[in-house]
Amino acid sequence: GAGVSQSPSNKVTEKGKDVELRCDPISGHTALYWYRQRLGQGLEFLIYFQGNSAPDKSGLPSDRFSAERTGESVSTLTIQRTQQEDSAVYLCASSSDGPTDTQYFGPGTRLTVL
Amino acid sequence: GDSVTQMEGPVTLSEEAFLTINCTYTATGYPSLFWYVQYPGEGLQLLLKATKADDKGSNKGFEATYRKETTSFHLEKGSVQVSDSAVYFCALSRGGSQGNLIFGKGTKLSVKP
């Protein structure tokens, strides 16, 4: 079956521009996560969606970052007024039920802010 | 706050050598513990996991035992292969409403023939 997909795979933008990153989770997975991986660093949690519950936004680094999810399907991570420190690989993961289930990761979107 | 510390790399081994990558954690309660692997040019994938103390996760010849007394989850393999070259991440999840994974910084393993 299809895994988690993300688009675009690469994004180069200029400082100050807004970007949107998309994640398509595995069909039927109720939980969806966004992480960020900066060069030489581990993965940082950004935001977590579980079903119809309010998302856990505790990992978002600033109010320039926001994310939405349509039902139990596609999610979009938006970064407004991008800064050079936003350059990273943004990873999306989904799991079938909840946080103790295995999270399946997408290939990531590499964002470069010039 | 909760955290994961793993040994820094890179680690370079010869084929058939024994591998240990140390991982320790700090967490409240009883987290689940994971090892993820990222092969060159590929996405992150689960290697093994353990959900309670004394559980042993195993996969592809790799093993890790959840040690609550030492708050550790060290990854071991008896005989590594060139194809094991990858970056390995230790992670924990507290579950419940705090379901996100907390990752270590990753350890790059290179296995030479």
Residues of A in contact with B101 (CB under 8 A): 33, 35, 43, 45, 93, 103
**Is residue A98 exposed (0-12), middle (13-18) or buried (19+ Cβ within 10 Å)?**
middle
Does the beta-carbon distance from B49 to A102 stay under 8 Å?
yes
Predicted pLDDT of residue A1: 55
Establish if B94 touches chain A: CB-CB under 8 angstroms: yes
Residue of chain B minimizing CA distance to A109: B43
pLDDT at B9 over 80: yes
pLDDT of residue A101: 74
Among B43, B99, B106, the residue with its CB nearest the CB of A98 is B99
Please report the pLDDT score of residue A99 as a whole number. 57
Residues in chain B closer than 8 A to A59 (CB atoms): 100
Best residue of A5, A105, A109 to probe chain B, by most B CBs closer than 10 Å: A105
Print pLDDT tens along chain A (114 aa): 589 999 999 999 999 999 999 999 999 898 999 999 998 788 899 999 988 888 889 899 999 999 999 887 899 999 999 999 999 999 999 988 765 678 899 999 999 999
CA B72, CA B64: separation in Å to the nearest integer? 9
CB-based contact (8 Å) between A43 and chain B?
A: yes
Helices (H) and strands (E) in chain B, counts: 0, 12
Instruction: Kindly tell me if the per-residue pLDDT of B40 is higher than 60.
Output: yes
In 3D space, the residue among B47, B13, B26, B93 whose CA is nearest the CA of residue A43 turns out to be B93
Instruction: Give residue B58's pLDDT.
Output: 97
Task: Give the residue-averaged pLDDT of B42-69.
Answer: 94
Closest residue, chain A, to B10 (C-alpha): A40
Residue B100 is predicted with a pLDDT of 81
pLDDT bin (cut points 50, 70, 90) of residue B72 is very high
Instruction: Over range B26-46, report the average pLDDT.
Output: 90
How far apart CA B76 and CA A61 sit, in angstroms, is: 35
CB pairs A-B closer than 8 Å: 68
Q: pLDDT above 90 covers what percent of chain B?
A: 75
What is the pLDDT of chain B when averaged over all its residues?
Answer: 92
Task: Please report where in the chains the tokens 């993820």 appear, as a residue.
Answer: B36
For B83-108, write each residue's pLDDT tens digit.
Answer: 999 999 999 987 655 568 899 999 99
Number of C-beta neighbours around residue A88 at 10 A? 20
Question: Chain A residues with CB inside 8 Å of B44's CB?
Answer: 43, 91, 93, 105
User: 3-state class of B83 per DSSP?
Assistant: helix
Give dist(CA B95, CA B104) in Å, integer. Answer: 17
